[in-house]
Amino acid sequence: MKDKVVIITGGSSGIGKACALVFGKAGAKVVITGRRADALNEAVTELKSKGITVKGVVADVSVHADNAKVAAETLAAFGRIDVLINNAGISMRALFSDLDVSVIEKVMQINFFGTVYATKTCLPYIIANKGSIVGISSIAGYRGLPARTGYSASKAAMQAFLESLRTELLKKDVHVLVACPGFTASNIRNVALTKDGSTQGESPLDEGNIMSAEEVAFHIYNAVMGRKRDLVLTRQGKLTVFLNKWLPSLMDKLVFNHFAKEKDSPIK
């Protein structure tokens, strides 16, 4: 990874910032993106204080032109692109029957089209360097979750897109990884959208009892170095994927019961 150039979308917090630290510590030059200049600058300052070579670019992954700007500024600063980590994402929590469809449109624009746009702009340089494209997906990409219709759909679409792309690039030695962390301690649930598009504000989970972003980043780094195809983390995540494949009717009931017990669950 020494002197490789890694772009991480949504890199100002959570898994994205943790990946910047892990890849940077391994010798990579890191570019992180984010929509908020203040949060991005704070992350850049923190990473630099830890010896990371890092550049921040204010960009919104849901805007195609912003992704072109990220690629251009990366090339101007470091001259190459080796790894793209599509990490930027947003969640939602509301029953579909209560939901304004604009919420799903926003989630799809960020989670799915953000991945499409970023990958499109970086692809020629990654092909030239036989590099890696990473999608930070979710167990929801394998198993649709109640009250997360838009989020589940966006992650399933991301996974299908990357699987198709991996097959297209089979003879070009480009590595494509779909990483599904499972529940991870981050702010994604705090800023999840509710039925009218407002933010949730408080996570329904006990954030202290789930996998840390730093641990997830370590696994992602190892998966990139090993050029793995898929990464499913946590015992719960692996069991969910397995049971949903072989016992889908049972999983309908198990998943319903699990999410019905959440704090302030809309599922009755």
Contact call for residues 95 and 267 (beta carbons, < 8 A): yes
CA distance 8 to 40: 12
Q: What are residue 84's DSSP bridge partners?
A: 7, 133
CA distance 59 to 132: 21
CA distance 62 to 254: 34
117 is catalytic: no
Q: What angle do CA 234, 28, 128 make, to 5 degrees?
A: 100
Kind and range of the H or E run holding 177: strand 175-180
CA distance 1 to 195: 42
Exactly one of 125, 142, 151, 221 is catalytic; name it.
151
CA distance 239 to 251: 10
Reference 145, options 88, 189, 102; nearest CA is 189
The DSSP 8-state label assigned to residue 199 in this structure reads B
3-state helix, strand, coil in the chain (%, to 5): 50, 15, 35
Residue numbers annotated as active site: 151
